[in-house]
Amino acid sequence: MVDEGSGAMQPWQRTAMGANLLSFDGSSPTGSLGVTIFEEMTSLATATGAINLGQGFPDEDGPEVIKDAARLAISNGANQYAPGKGFFNLRSAISRHQQRFYGLIPDPETEIIVTTGATEAIAASILALVSPGDEVITFEPFYDSYGAMIALAGGKHVTVQLKAPEFQPDLDELTEAFSDRTKVVLLNNPHNPTGAVFGANILERLVQLAHQYDAVIISDEVYEHLVFGAETVVPAHVPIATVPGAAERTLTISSAGKTFSLTGWKVGWLMGPADLVAAVRTVKQFMSYSSGPPFQNAIAQALELPDSYYTSVAATLKGKRDLLITGLKAAGLAPYTPAGTYFVNADATPLGVTDATALARALPELIGVAAIPVGVFCTPEGAKNYQSLLRFAFCKREEVITQAVDRLAGLGSAISTSGLLGSLK
C-alpha cells in the first residue's frame, strides 16, 4: 500500500509526470511474461507502491471462527502427517456440503480425497489420466497451470475460444474440438479469467461429447460460491456432475481458498467415481502425500457454516465488482460484467491501446495500479483474440478498490501525456 500521508512522491506519480517507464518487449502477444506473470506484476506493484489488482488473492482473512479452529487443532496436536487421502472428518464434511448444495452424495471413504489446494488436484488428475499424445480440451483463455500440466503429461492441448461479451463457446466449435484422441475435457466453471458461468446448453453438450468420445471430464469449480445471481446465465452454480450422464465420468475439484478467503492454507479436494479417484490418488501420493493437518480440521468446520455465510460472500463481492466496473468505465476502459469469480476483464481499445501486455507493465508506474493481461492465459495463437484485454481482481477491501478507482480516473490523460500511446498499439 502507498503511504498517502508521507508526502513523498511515489514512483507511479513520477512516471505520470514524465519519468521513464520500465522497458518492455511487446513483440509477442504474451511478451516475456509467460507463467511468471503473477510474480512479475506483484513485484512491480511492490516496487512502485501500486495497488495490486493483478494477482487474485484477498487482502482480508476469512471468518475468525475458522482461524480459531486451526489454532485449537494445532494446540491439540494436529501437527503430524494427515492420512494420504485426508482426514475423514473433512472428507465427510465435503460430502455433506455436496449434498446440501447440489444433491450429490460422494462416498467419503472411496470417492473423495483431500489435496494441497485445487492446483495439486488438477496436476494429479492430468498426470494420472493423460498419456503422451492424448488430447486435452480446455476453453481459452485458461488458468495457467492447465497448459503447464498438459505439457508435463505429454498431452496435446486443444482449445475452444470463449467469445465476448458473455464469454460462452460456440457449440459447433466445441464439437469440432473433439476427436478420437480426446482423453480429457478440463472445465473451469465459474471461469477464470473471464468470469463466465456456463449455461445448461454448454454443460449438456460437453457431457454428450464426453460420452461420444469416451472422455473424462475434470471440472475445476473453485469459484462455486462466487456467483452473482440474476446476471448469470444460470441462477446459481450447477456442477457438471449433476447433469444426467456426467457423474460416472467426472472428477470435480474445489477448495477452501476462494470461498473462505484463506488462499494460503492450500486445502483442496477432489471427488468422483471411486476408480478415477483411486487413479488420481496413486499419483498424488508421490506429490505432497498430505498437508495442513490443522487446516484440514478447521475447514471441516468451515464447511458446516450456515447458508447465510455463503450468500453473504457472494453479495459482498458483487458490490465490490460493481464499484470497480464503474471506475473502469470512468477511466475510459470497456469492462465486461462477470457472472462469477472475482475478476473483471476490461478492453483497453477505447483508449487507443491494443497491447494489453505492454499496458500492464506500464500501469504500476503510470497510475499506481497493477493488472494482468488476459493474453497470458492463452496459447500464442489464441492470445491474438484477447490482446487488448486486462484482468482486474476485486477481492480486495472496499477502500482499496475505491483508491484504485481514483487512480484509474487519470489513466487516459496519463497515457496521452506520457508519450506511450505509440508503443501500446
Domain assignments of the chain as residue spans, ordered by start: 11-60+309-424, 64-304
Half-sphere exposure of 335 (CA within 13 A, CB side): 23
Identical fold, 11-60+309-424 and 64-304: no
The number of helix segments (H) and strand segments (E) in the chain equals 15, 14
For the entire predicted model, the pTM comes to 0.90
State the pLDDT at residue 17.
36
CB distance 178 to 215 below 8 Å: yes
State the pLDDT at residue 291.
96
State the pLDDT at residue 233.
39
State the pLDDT at residue 27.
34
Specify the 3-state DSSP secondary structure of 250: strand
State the pLDDT at residue 42.
87
Pick the CATH number of 64-304 from 3.40.50.10190, 3.40.50.11240, 3.60.10.10, 3.40.640.10: 3.40.640.10
Segments in the chain below pLDDT 50 = 1-35, 231-234
State the pLDDT at residue 37.
76
E strands, 317-403, where? 334-336, 343-347, 369-370, 372-373, 389-393
Distance CA 376, CA 46 (A): 21
CATH fold label, 11-60+309-424? Aspartate Aminotransferase, domain 1 (3.90.1150)
Under 8 Å CB-to-CB from 114, ≥6 apart: which residues? Answer: 82, 85, 86, 87, 90, 91, 94, 267, 268, 269, 290, 296
State the pLDDT at residue 55.
85
State the pLDDT at residue 40.
86
310 closest CA partner among 358, 352, 351, 254: 254
